[in-house]
Amino acid sequence: MNQSSSDWPLWEVFVRSRQGLSHKHVGSLHAADAGMAISNARDVYTRRQEGVSIWVLPADAISASSPVDKDILFDPANDKVYRHASFYDLPDEVKNM
């Protein structure tokens, strides 16, 4: 479907749910500008106390890896287990690792 020029651009929304956690992608929305995107994100994605901070960025500013490149990007790491952080015992006090 063609996007008509009068449509608002798409924004991707990232919400930090608690201090100390990173911003997490929660979805997208339409807005005319960044200020409006934050205010819409507040209404659409944080009405149930989900967040302490919001990031929005224009969806077309995101460059994504192509699914076709999946093999060359990710497979080489599969057989290098010594790189995986799975041999460490995490203390119980460390949450959100």
Chain residues that interact with another protein, rule: CB under 8 A: 8, 29-32, 35-36, 39-40, 42-44, 47
- Cβ proximity to another protein: between 36 and 59 the closer is 36
CA geometry: angle 8, 13, 18, nearest 5 deg: 155
User: What is the pairing mode between strands 53-58 and 10-16?
Assistant: antiparallel
**Could you give the CA distance from residue 26 to residue 17 in angstroms, rounded to a whole number?**
10
- Cβ proximity to another protein: between 32 and 73 the closer is 32
Residue 25 C-beta: closest distance to another protein, Å: 17
- Cβ proximity to another protein: between 7 and 77 the closer is 7
